[in-house]
Amino acid sequence: MPSPLSAQPLRLALFQSSGRPGSVAANLKALDEAAGRAAAAGASLLVTSELFLTGYAIGADVHHLAESADGEGADAVAEIAARHGVAIVYGYPERDGTQVFNSVQLIDASGTRRAGYRKTHLFGGFEREVFVPGEQPVVQVELAGLRVGLMVCYDVEFPENVRAHALAGTDLLLVPTAQMHPFQFVAESVVPVRAWENQMYVAYVNRTGPEGEGDAALEFVGLSCLAGPDGATRVRGGHGEELLVGEVDPALLAASRETNPYLRDRRPGLYDSLS
């Protein structure tokens, strides 16, 4: 169930960007600049897009650029987080032995690795060819008095996935994503509904612009957003690169949960047997 909430709003920044696909060094530089801007805007948390560290539509290079959760990329992100005093959630391909996962990691403002999540629902042939699906649906960490959950892109489109977070008490769900045309309705409609029906904030942070070549070419639609438990979109991005700043208000979250009875009125005995 929901945890006791901090009285202070959490200001977070959503970095809507594809960086430079295939160049970890360039993406770390972009992340450093975004962290500085986020800190200047008073944000204590910066969230990037899916596979931000390497790029998404880079084919077999994903395997060449994959690294462990405590690898050089993680060390570089930790240094950026500590220097700017901003917690960072970033997407990257995680190598564990011979397996590669589509992962996100949260590093706090001191540069400490706090949580890692492996995408559980892989989208399309490319992801299924290069990644292994994760098996842990709910990953949470306490941050600034809030229970923060992690997810990746396609995962949020499964209502059971988000409901598991709601039942585990997640207050703010962070969803680095790579949402492409023509599926922008997910950003526009599905994400605010997920926030409403599960009584939580959802931060959905997308890539933007063209990526890949030939048959593998994709057009990422942007439209990153921060949706609240009342179903309202607090922050909404356009189609280009930008840094969006919004707030998670614990008072609104508590009031909305008191008013909205979804979780209290559930009758799990009617559908627990469904698979």
Q: Which domains does the chain have, with CATH numbers?
A: 10-264 (3.60.110.10)
Model confidence pLDDT, tens digit, residues 189-202: 999 999 999 999 99
Confidence of residue 213 (pLDDT cuts 50, 70, 90): confident
Confidence of residue 60 (pLDDT cuts 50, 70, 90): confident
- Average pLDDT for 48-58: 96
Q: If you average pLDDT over every residue of the chain, what do you get?
A: 95
Cβ count near 268 (within 10 Å) = 8
Query: In angstroms, rounded to a whole number, what is the distance separating the alpha carbons of residues 261 and 184?
Result: 29
Confidence of residue 6 (pLDDT cuts 50, 70, 90): low
User: Quick check: 160 pLDDT over 70?
Assistant: yes
User: Quick check: 5 pLDDT over 80?
Assistant: no
Query: Are the C-beta atoms of 47 and 89 separated by less than 8 Å?
Result: yes
User: Quick check: 109 pLDDT over 70?
Assistant: yes
pTM more than 0.85: yes
Q: What are phi and psi of 38, to 5 degrees?
A: -65, -45
pLDDT above 90 covers a percentage of the chain that reads 90
DSSP-derived letter for residue 215 is G
* Active site residues per annotation: 50, 119, 153
Q: Give the residue among 177, 169, 166, 173 at the shortest CA–CA distance from 224.
A: 177
Strand ranges (DSSP E) for 153-230?
172-176, 201-205, 208-211, 218-221, 225-227
The helix or strand, by DSSP H or E, that contains position 118, with its residue range, turns out to be strand 113-118
